[in-house]
Amino acid sequence: MLPIDLSGKRALVAGVADDGGFGFAVAKAFAEAGASVCVATWPPALNIFLNLLERGKMDESRKLRDGSLLTFERIYPLDAIYDSLEDAPDDVRSSKRYKDVGDFSIGGLAQRIAADFGDQSLDIVFHSLANGPEVKKPLLEVSRAGYLAASSASAYSLVSMVQRLAPLMRPGGSVCSLTYMASERAIPGYGGGMSSAKAALESDTRVLSFEAGRKYGLRVNTISAGPFASRAASAIGIIDKMVKYCAANAPLAEELTATEVGNTAAFLSSALASGITGSTVYVDKGYHAMGMAVTMPPGVEPLGA
């Protein structure tokens, strides 16, 4: 037996606010493999997330194979569009959902982890962060501000996290993120500059794999996941159509599960993947391999129609 073993490892998953998305599935897979798991949550969603945990509303989804519940070593506030607290405008820092959480910047996250666990206390960083405020707009209608906001939240946030968290990571550690095939192919309806942000994320993954590999001994990869109807993905507006289209046209004609992405993240973060870095790993039932549509489910119009 060749197990995925993350025993004795500490993982940080940035971008967990509920139990319905890839970030939660990744955190759960890390825990199943034996890692201790910290998560970082967007401040406006933090209290809701904490209340769901405290009231047991996520107990069923938190169940691990041995019957225990997934627990988080720490839950940190994080708004990854800010490198330091000083970068956040006064109205954000003083707003109801931000003012009592402390330093919610990426730099603040790094400082809290160092204070809680010391230097070289992290082994795994998983970036599950993406936001495009104009995602429903086609590229021809996207504003400069919307385009740059998508790139800032979805791509540069990874660069900033590696800059600040890599010094806290042990050699041999893993950094991984989530991308999407819109980085390389046109996906009608996936707008707001998000396709450009994902392309930048994949390019940065390759460059960071070299720089962080040589400087810190870290591996950097990204997972290109197929469409999945999470709560966050509902912002796209066509996610159900995307899921059905890909399931109908992929080599494995079935819908992707979050668990499949989580298991891949656990593998990439383990010693079994010690030779893999700078890679985009597809977890999409093989849809990326297709060059022509096969069929559409009854009653579903083609994307872009």
Q: Is residue 247 part of a domain?
A: yes
Q: Tens of pLDDT along 79-91?
A: 999 999 999 999 9
Q: Tens of pLDDT along 33-78?
A: 999 999 999 999 999 999 999 999 999 999 999 999 999 999 999 9
CATH number at residue 116: 3.40.50.720
Q: Is residue 51 part of a domain?
A: yes
**100 labelled as ligand-binding?**
no
The pTM assigned to this predicted structure is 0.94
Known catalytic membership, residue 190? yes
Q: Tens of pLDDT along 132-161?
A: 999 999 999 999 999 999 999 999 999 999
**19 labelled as ligand-binding?**
no
pLDDT of residue 223: 98
Per mean pLDDT, which range of 116-130, 175-189, 212-226, 281-295 is the poorest?
281-295
Catalytic residue among 156, 180, 216, 245: 180
Q: Is residue 164 part of a domain?
A: yes
**39 labelled as ligand-binding?**
no
Catalytic residue among 147, 190, 245, 287: 190
**243 labelled as ligand-binding?**
no
pLDDT of residue 241: 86
Q: Is residue 212 part of a domain?
A: yes
**92 labelled as ligand-binding?**
yes
Q: Is the pLDDT of residue 235 over 90?
A: no
Range of the domain at 132: 10-289
Q: Is residue 4 part of a domain?
A: no
**Number of domains the chain is built from:** 1
Q: Is residue 62 part of a domain?
A: yes
Q: Is residue 122 part of a domain?
A: yes
Known catalytic membership, residue 216? no
Q: Is residue 2 part of a domain?
A: no
- The secondary structure of the chain, three-state, reads CCCCCCCCCEEEEECCCCCCCHHHHHHHHHHHCCCEEEEEECHHHHHHHHHHHHCCCCHHHHECCCCCECCCCEEEECCCCCCCHHHCCHHHHCCCCCCCCCCCCHHHHHHHHHHHHCCCCEEEEEECCCCCCCCCCCHHHCCHHHHHHHHHHHHHHHHHHHHHHHHHEEEEEEEEEEECHHHCCCCCCCCCCHHHHHHHHHHHHHHHHHHHHHHHCCEEEEEEECCCCCCHHHHHCCHHHHHHHHHHHCCCCCCCCHHHHHHHHHHHCCHHHCCCCCCEEEECCCHHHCCCCCCCCCCCCCCCC
